[in-house]
Structure 1
Amino acid sequence: MHRTTLLPENWWDVAAEAWAENAAGHGVVALRAENDQLRRALAGRMVIDQACGMVMILAPCRRGPARNLLVDISRQCNSSLPDVAAAVVAAWEGDPLSPLMRRALRRALRRLHAEDRGCDSPPADEPSGRRRS
């Protein structure tokens, strides 16, 4: 059984107090903002890596094509890569994908398999003018 591991929100919290009146306080505030940004990026990276691993298992491929497949889905759905990855992980655990994301996943998988077979023709549901190079 596969399980998603989520770290608690306060896992990275630093015990520091900053006062806006002193100059060092501004530096601490800036460091906390940067820390929060890095925390969000790391959390997004973890779920992207997890989704890439799932794609690598489901559609036997290497890491590069698996990540490209997720990027392709995020572009088709106009969503961020971490959001698509989180949806794929949730689908693995039983939550349904949205219809738009299911269609995008089907297209991306067809494209991946066509590239793997060395086919130059686009998938059946994609117009010939929009072929990826």
Structure 2
Amino acid sequence: MQRTTLLPENWWDLRAEAVAGEAAAQDVVVLHAENDQLRRALAGRMVIDQACGMVMVLAPCRRGPARHLLVDISRQCHTQLPDVAAAVVAAWEGEPLSRLMQRALRRALRQLYAEDRECDSSPADEPSRPLEAARTG
């Protein structure tokens, strides 16, 4: 025995619209979340760039070492990099840094200066001018 079920013509269309509407609503929610995440990342990036510039002026160093200094402070304080950068910018404007961040900043600056001194000085056993060493040796 064969059984036939009749469905209204627009039943599939209504179902498709509901699914498409739900999918579109989900896409909108996902896009809003992604937009918010990108805005926060961009805002964090701006404050990191500002803090890097401040470190570059204060420490005199290039951008790479300035960013590494901020990353080092971030690791020592177990704090996100944008939060460290915001604290440095706030300190520039008169807000005191936390003791933990002050200690981390001192350590990071000492390390930066030590690395800078190592790059500037040549080892004592190496001659300063290779040509003179070749002539005398």
Q: If each structure's helix is expressed as a fraction of its own residues, which one has the higher value?
A: 2
* Alignment TM-score > 0.5, same fold: yes
After superposition, residues 5-84 of structure 1 pair within 5 angstroms as 22-84=22-84
Q: What displacement does 1:26 show?
A: 1.2
Q: Percent identity?
A: 82
Q: Which consecutive unaligned segments of at least 5 residues does structure 2 have? A: 1-20, 120-137
Structure 1: give runs of 5+ residues left out of the alignment.
1-20, 120-133
Once the 2 structures are TM-superposed, how far is the Cα of residue 23 of structure 1 from its aligned partner?
A: 2.2
Question: What's the counterpart of residue 11 of structure 2?
Answer: none
Partner Cα separation in structure 1 for residue 92 and residue 41 of structure 2: 22
Which AA in structure 1 matches 2:96?
P
Structure 2 distance, partners of 1:93, 1:44, is 18
In the superposition, the TM-score normalised over structure 1's length comes to 0.72
Structure 2 equivalent of residue 107 of structure 1: 107
SS in structure 1 opposite 2:60? coil
Q: Which amino acid aligns with 1:74?
A: S
The alignment's C-alpha RMSD in Å is 1.1
Q: Over residues 59-83 of structure 1, what are the superposed CA-to-partner deviations in whole Å (9 max), with x where a residue is unaligned?
A: 0000000000000000011101000
Equivalent-residue separation in structure 1 for 2:75 and 2:25 (angstroms): 41
Moved over 4 A (4+): none
Amino acid at match of 2:27: G
